[in-house]
Amino acid sequence: MVSVHEEDLQVWQGSRELLVSLHDRLIGNHGTEWLELLERYGTFKERMAAVTADVDAAGICGTCGGLCCMNGKYRFNVLDALCGVALDCVPTVNFRQTPLCPYGADTGCSLTPSLRPADCILFICEAIDQKLSPPARLELTRLEQLVRDCLREASLVTGELLGTPVLLWGSKKLVSKLRE
């Protein structure tokens, strides 16, 4: 009998192959326009991380132990993964470290801000929020909208909901592929 962890890893690996194929097709159909969209998406996530870094988010997260990082296997969406494919940086996962996020490490998130799951970048806990100035909150709101706009635009280009978690998307795609 296959464990849940092994099943998740199989879906992750199968999804990676599907993602590479999807990315190659998008490059063929949309070229630099697609790559520019991925770059914008990553840049907006980096800017959001920089705003929270200014209030010592890393220190706050270190103090709480990353409670928001629990049960994170469904946080990595298809567009996040396509960014990783484009940069040949799809994360290594450890589905056995539940309830901790399988994309993390003992020292925190193993991903650079541009490659972190959008859910993780968009989430601002109360402790961080309390330290943000009004202009910083406005900037985060503006950047959040830009991240969501990229997700929407990429979904329109592909005809798929790219905000879907990779494990769910991959499971569905792999089952459909088996039925063919």
Q: What is the 3-state secondary structure (H, E, C) of the chain?
A: CCCHHHHHHHHHHHHHHHHHHHHHHHHHHHHHHHHHHHHHHHHHHHHHHHHHHCCCHHHHHHHHCCHHHECCCCCCEHHHHHHHHHCCCCCCCCCCCCCECCCEECCEECCCHHHCCHHHHHCCCHHHHHHCCHHHHHHHHHHHHHHHHHHHHHHHHHCCCCCCEHHHHHHHHHHHHHHC
Tally of domains within the chain: 1
Would you write out the chain's pLDDT as a tens digit for each of its 180 residues? 778 889 999 999 999 999 999 999 999 999 999 999 999 999 999 999 999 999 998 888 888 877 888 878 899 999 999 999 999 998 888 888 877 889 887 777 888 999 999 999 999 999 999 999 999 999 999 999 999 999 999 999 999 999 999 999 999 988 877 676
pLDDT of residue 180: 67
In the prediction, which pLDDT does 156 show? 96
What is the span of the domain harbouring residue 162?
4-179
